[in-house]
Structure 1
Amino acid sequence: MEILASIPSPSESEIHLGPFPLRGYALCIIVGVFLAIWLGGRRWVERGGRPGTVADIAVWAVPFGLVGARIYHVVTDYQLYFGDGRDWVDAFQIWDGGIGIWGAIAGGALGAWIACRRRGIALPPMADALAPGIALAQAVGRWGNWFNQELYGRSTDLPWAVEIDNGIDEGTFHPTFLYESLWCLGVAVLVIWADRRFRLGHGRAFALYVAAYTAGRFWIESLRIDEAHEFLGMRLNNWTSLVVFLAAVAYLVISALRRPGREKLVEPGADGDDDGDAGTVDDAGPASDDVDGTTEPGKPSLEKETADGDGPAADDRADGRSAGDADAEVTPDPEPTERVAGDEPAEPVTADATTVDEKAETVTAGDRPAGAEPGGR
């Protein structure tokens, strides 16, 4: 068989950063995680969330996802770690490869749910924001299989065949890791387009990602030749892809019928209320009022009397008197009395005059302090 071209595999699975060796498999996972957080964070803010929330959720989701991915791999390929001549300690050496995407999604979803619950966020809108980023992370992470010379398909002489020499197989084979990487890139683009075109919400963007990924994974899995458990003549991962695909499609249809549209509020307090209590029953009123102390039309006044009965701080009145003077005003009697000063004709007291205590002593003009104006306080 004449090979016109092929993709060479790395001679080593490590990348040396000075004196520090870094596994290519681990590097691909790390880069993929950062891309998922970056893209998910942008989409979360676009949907009305706070910056930095996705990074906080990732603190829980990423470790749970890695653990779940490893558990799924060890359980489905237990013979590699618990068979004759095997060392069960190897099950913890994740850097040597061997993770399952199904376990990663399940474990990551559990970690994200815990983190979202702690912050009062619903999981479906967070999953919608993260969906294309997860597909992008898978696209990058699959290149870790290239470093480890694993997850390849049947023998082929296609120009894009991958060269394998791992002590088990030797020759050129279908690069199924490359097929899945390209497929995941397409899934990420599809989810972003559909989400903007149809405003997917309530977990439907994530369901679209799951359905699209499993559709591609089904035919890619059929090309692989590595050992795997089979059921009714089909690989276990094919059955998993089929079941998960049907579940995702069913969720898409049912969710679209029951809860169309997209969530209006994805994170409490994301509208600018730093206390995170926006929209709760404990909200006492508007967050702010006008600079001059007046409230907006239709909003209740923020002026409240204090416990000792005092009103708000003294403000300027139109007649020049302070608010404290207003407390001393007493409404004049309906029938004002007349004052008599010697032989002066009686003058009725005007309605706007301020009454004084009936027992107050009369202040003569000579007793007024210097500079005091008549009628002043």
Structure 2
Amino acid sequence: MTPYLPFPDISPEIFSINLFGLHLALRWYALAYIAGLLIGWRLVLRAIRSPRLWPGGTAPLNAEQLDRLLTWIIVGVVLGGRLGFVLFYQPGHYLSHPGDILKVWEGGMSFHGGFLGVVVAALIFCRREGIALLPMADLLALAAPPGLLLGRIANFINAELWGRATTMPWGFAFPGEAAQACATMEGPCIRHPSQLYEAGLEGLLLGIILIWLAFRAKSAFFRAGLIAGTFLAGYGLARFIVEFFRQPDAQFVTAENPLGLYIHLGGYGLTAGQVLSLPMILVGIWLVIRARSVRTKHVPA
């Protein structure tokens, strides 16, 4: 039998109470969102309070504006993430059952949708406050990896978004009928812990790179768009790679398309996650090239 790791017995709920007939619970996924936003906020606050990081010693916004921006970002993440999931992954179901769109407690959030929600919220905020877009994009990019890291770990605890079947010894036997669909008489279905792959690449590794770029002696904030471009290209590439190991959404898997490819021809193609990641990679590369080609007297020697 293929060696594997047993799935840890961790409840998705940190604690819960029943109050007036309602079941109220704090879940790891909700805590990951909250903690990710707070850590990202602290990173941005530290950056804007460090004059040496900015051309002319002046950050694009102050602490008071940052506090107001946090509210806009929360709204953008929640609305964009939910609508992205509805439109990108299960439009047919939600067109037939529009009332289910509001049932966010049943799960269903899209990173790409949340990302677009943040972009729209940031654009409106920058226009209202008279803040330059690229420096703001750099700050938001710096804040994103902690949330990605914690969110993917929460996905793992929830036993959701698991990977494809594998014979690797670090595979897990995820619980649940859907996860065990490939189980045999010889043993359980062993799957890649793709959530942890994403946590390591999109969260930890990318976060370390962006923090180094932002706070090193020759700060990347002197080249507007460099941190944002690095984030977009880095996230897109990491997600594109992990998609080879991640189980596709059930609605894309058929007898003729067992790999769940969103675009396919003759057995080859791209998953939905890869299709959505390609524009991020291209825009990210363009931003990096543009930022590095900028010549300004403010760039430290």
Give the equivalent residue in structure 2 for 1:176: 194
Q: Which one of 31, 37, 41 corresponds to residue 33 of structure 1?
A: 37
**1:35–1:136: 8 Å Cα contact kept in structure 2?**
yes
Give the equivalent residue in structure 1 for 2:94: 82
Within a 5 Å distance, the mapping from 1:133-282 to structure 2 comes to 133-170=143-180, 171-183=189-201, 184-195=203-214, 196=216, 198-200=218-220, 201-227=223-249, 228=252, 230-232=262-264, 233-258=269-294, 260=296
- Give the SS at the match of 2:14: strand
Deviation at 1:223, TM superposition (A): 1.1
Whether 2:104 is the aligned partner of 1:94: answer yes
Give the equivalent residue in structure 1 for 2:141: 131
Instruction: For 1:243 and 1:4, locate their aligned partners in 2 and report how far apart those are by CA, in whole Å.
Output: 36
- Give the SS at the match of 1:165: coil
Larger relative helix fraction:
2
Deviation at 1:66, TM superposition (A): 1.5
Deviations 1:228-279 (A, max 9, x none): 4611321122122122201210121123324557699xxxxxxxxxxxxxxx
**1:61–1:110: 8 Å Cα contact kept in structure 2?**
no
> Higher Cα Rg: structure 1 or 2?
1
Whether 2:37 is the aligned partner of 1:5: answer no
Give the equivalent residue in structure 1 for 2:255: none
Unaligned runs of 5+ in 2: 19-23, 181-188, 253-260
Deviation at 1:148, TM superposition (A): 2.9
**2:4–2:171: 8 Å Cα contact kept in structure 1?**
no
Instruction: For 2:299 and 2:67, locate their aligned partners in 1 and report how far apart those are by CA, in whole Å.
Output: 21
**2:4–2:173: 8 Å Cα contact kept in structure 1?**
no
Instruction: For 2:44 and 2:5, locate their aligned partners in 1 and report how far apart those are by CA, in whole Å.
Output: 38
State the one-letter code of the partner of 1:210: L
**1:135–1:188: 8 Å Cα contact kept in structure 2?**
yes
**2:229–2:286: 8 Å Cα contact kept in structure 1?**
no
Give the equivalent residue in structure 1 for 2:183: none
Greater RCO structure (CA 8 Å; 6+ sep) = 2
Deviations 1:318-353 (A, max 9, x none): xxxxxxxxxxxxxxxxxxxxxxxxxxxxxxxxxxxx
**2:32–2:154: 8 Å Cα contact kept in structure 1?**
yes
**2:233–2:281: 8 Å Cα contact kept in structure 1?**
yes
TM-score under structure 1 length normalisation: 0.63
Instruction: For 2:30 and 2:263, locate their aligned partners in 1 and report how far apart those are by CA, in whole Å.
Output: 32
Residues 126, 225 of structure 1: CA spacing in aligned structure 2 closer, same or farther, 3 A cutoff? same
Instruction: For 1:100 and 1:74, locate their aligned partners in 2 and report how far apart those are by CA, in whole Å.
Output: 8
Residues 73, 262 of structure 1: CA spacing in aligned structure 2 closer, same or farther, 3 A cutoff? farther
Deviations 1:51-108 (A, max 9, x none): 343222111122112211111111112257338xx74322222233221111111111
**1:65–1:109: 8 Å Cα contact kept in structure 2?**
no
Instruction: For 1:260 and 1:236, locate their aligned partners in 2 and report how far apart those are by CA, in whole Å.
Output: 40
State the one-letter code of the partner of 1:220: V
- Give the SS at the match of 1:172: coil
Whether 2:140 is the aligned partner of 1:104: answer no
State the one-letter code of the partner of 2:15: H
Residues 203, 9 of structure 1: CA spacing in aligned structure 2 closer, same or farther, 3 A cutoff? farther
Give the equivalent residue in structure 2 for 1:328: none
State the one-letter code of the partner of 1:81: H
Instruction: For 1:167 and 1:17, locate their aligned partners in 2 and report how far apart those are by CA, in whole Å.
Output: 25
Give the equivalent residue in structure 1 for 2:48: 44
Deviations 1:144-176 (A, max 9, x none): 312332111112344432331222122331111
Q: Which one of 70, 83, 94 corresponds to residue 82 of structure 2?
A: 70
TM-score under structure 2 length normalisation: 0.77
Instruction: For 1:187 and 1:3, locate their aligned partners in 2 and report how far apart those are by CA, in whole Å.
Output: 31
Q: Which moved more, 1:164-173 or 1:183-192?
A: 164-173
**2:161–2:194: 8 Å Cα contact kept in structure 1?**
yes
Whether 2:66 is the aligned partner of 1:54: answer yes
State the one-letter code of the partner of 1:172: I
State the one-letter code of the partner of 1:143: I
State the one-letter code of the partner of 1:133: A
Deviations 1:24-60 (A, max 9, x none): 2222112111111111211122243433432221111
Whether 2:26 is the aligned partner of 1:22: answer yes
**1:9–1:146: 8 Å Cα contact kept in structure 2?**
no
